[in-house]
């Protein structure tokens, strides 16, 4: 998109016009002293023409400047309306403004708002269809994902008071400190009457029998990557309920993700050679987690090893770009991904006998 002219460019235009005015004034003075009547008349005609041209250009620049000054105010009014107000206003400004750059900005904004509204409506319809057709266990993670998507889109299309910056009360105590476990959204979708660490423990316990069946594969891969096997088990629990939500092809998430650790086929060349619970799949998924951990260590060398590992878990769900300080689950599925996974991992570390080292999981306290 073409950007709006800068203040520097505006100043340069004004300076050029001032120089031209000075030259014209000097030419008038010179012609009076030196030149004859005919030449003076011709020169005066040329000078008058240029003066008219300058005034027209000045008017054009002032009009564009006024529009750009109003653009910020219009945008503020637009943002404080809902998505339908934004669509109407952006369509209007995209057609009536004289500045082509400003029109382009508003037309692009209109297109973005249309796409957000369509995604929101589609997600709402999908949620109602899944909820109406099935209350089975194998739909809970899909419902969680859709509800989170709806919640996120709803924030984007709702009115925004741009004078107030977001103040996240979860900041230091809950995000960078103790593990808080399952969010209310995740607990509600899974029909639990408790939230937080107790909810995560309950969900981990529900999947424990399925986790034990793949315990040996988890241990082998964890040893290769020097990661706690209970953490891999917890990811499998969170992603696929230990395999419970997978269809006969090992797929879930509308057929986009494969295996107990849910690798998205749209972004990865998925290894399916020994099935959704096999060592090849677990090794590929854990390799991705280990790669994220290396990136987090480079990005945040000041963090403790445990917090770096938690950051890698955040990245496994939502990408390294979403990992900021303090470590936060904002932007992850359910806004609780790493906290829920870590709490489940603690449950598995304490309730399953592992051939591997889970000690790092105890370096971050659980929230009481």
Q: Report yes or no: 210 and 192 within 8 Å, Cβ to Cβ.
A: no
Would you call 7 a catalytic residue per the annotation? no
Q: Spot the catalytic one: 99, 104, 122, 253.
A: 253
Q: Report yes or no: 349 and 230 within 8 Å, Cβ to Cβ.
A: yes
Q: Spot the catalytic one: 141, 207, 239, 329.
A: 239
330 Cβ contact list (under 8 Å, min separation 6): 168
Cis? peptide before 326, omega within 30° of 0:
yes
25 Cβ contact list (under 8 Å, min separation 6): none
Would you call 239 a catalytic residue per the annotation? yes
Q: How far apart are alpha carbons 114 and 314 in whole angstroms?
A: 30
Nearest CA to 241 among 172, 102, 134, 140?
140
Which residues in 233-270 are b (16+ Cβ under 10 Å) and which e? bbbbbbbbbbbbbbeeebbbbeeebbbbbbbeeeeeeb
Q: Which helix (H) or strand (E) holds 263?
A: strand 263-264
Q: How far apart are alpha carbons 72 and 83 in whole angstroms?
A: 18
Nearest CA to 272 among 233, 246, 293?
246
- Bridge partners (DSSP) listed for residue 366: 179
Q: How far apart are alpha carbons 329 and 86 in whole angstroms?
A: 29
- Bridge partners (DSSP) listed for residue 252: 257
What backbone torsions phi and psi does residue 263 show, to the nearest 5 degrees?
-85, 125
DSSP state of 332: S
As annotated, the active-site residues are 239, 253
């Amino acid at each position: 998109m073409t950007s709006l002219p800068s203040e520097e460019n505006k100043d340069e235009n004004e300076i050029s016009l001032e120089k031209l005015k000075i030259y014209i004034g000097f030419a008038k003075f010179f012609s009076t002293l030196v030149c004859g009547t005919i030449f003076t008349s011709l020169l005066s005609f040329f000078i008058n023409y240029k003066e008219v041209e300058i005034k027209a250009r000045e008017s054009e620049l002032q009009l564009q400047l006024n529009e750009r000054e109003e653009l910020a105010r219009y945008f503020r009014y637009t943002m404080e309306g809902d998505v339908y107000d934004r669509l109407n206003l952006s369509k209007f400004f995209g057609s009536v403004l004289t500045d082509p750059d400003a029109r382009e900005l508003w037309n692009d904004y209109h297109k973005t708002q249309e796409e957000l509204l369509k995604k929101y409506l589609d997600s709402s319809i999908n949620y109602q269809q899944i909820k109406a057709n099935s209350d089975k266990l194998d739909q809970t993670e899909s419902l969680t994902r859709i509800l989170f998507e709806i919640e996120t889109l709803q924030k984007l299309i709702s009115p925004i008071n741009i004078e107030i910056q977001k103040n996240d009360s979860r900041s230091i105590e809950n995000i960078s400190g103790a593990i808080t476990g399952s969010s209310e959204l995740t607990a509600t979708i899974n029909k639990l009457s408790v939230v937080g660490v107790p909810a995560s423990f309950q969900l981990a316990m529900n999947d424990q029998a399925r986790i034990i069946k793949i315990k040996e594969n988890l241990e082998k891969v964890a040893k290769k990557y020097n990661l706690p096997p209970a953490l891999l088990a917890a990811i499998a629990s969170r992603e696929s309920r230990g395999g419970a939500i997978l269809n006969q092809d090992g797929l879930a998430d509308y057929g986009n993700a494969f295996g107990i650790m849910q690798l998205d086929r749209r972004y990865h060349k998925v290894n399916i050679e020994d099935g959704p619970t096999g060592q090849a799949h677990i090794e590929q998924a854990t390799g991705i987690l280990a790669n994220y951990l290396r990136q987090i260590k480079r990005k945040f060398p000041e963090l403790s090893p445990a917090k770096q590992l938690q950051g890698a878990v955040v990245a496994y769900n939502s990408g390294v770009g979403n990992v900021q300080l303090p470590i936060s689950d904002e932007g992850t599925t359910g806004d609780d991904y790493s906290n829920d996974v870590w709490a489940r991992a603690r449950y598995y570390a304490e309730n399953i006998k592992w051939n591997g080292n889970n000690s790092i999981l105890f370096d971050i306290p659980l929230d009481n």
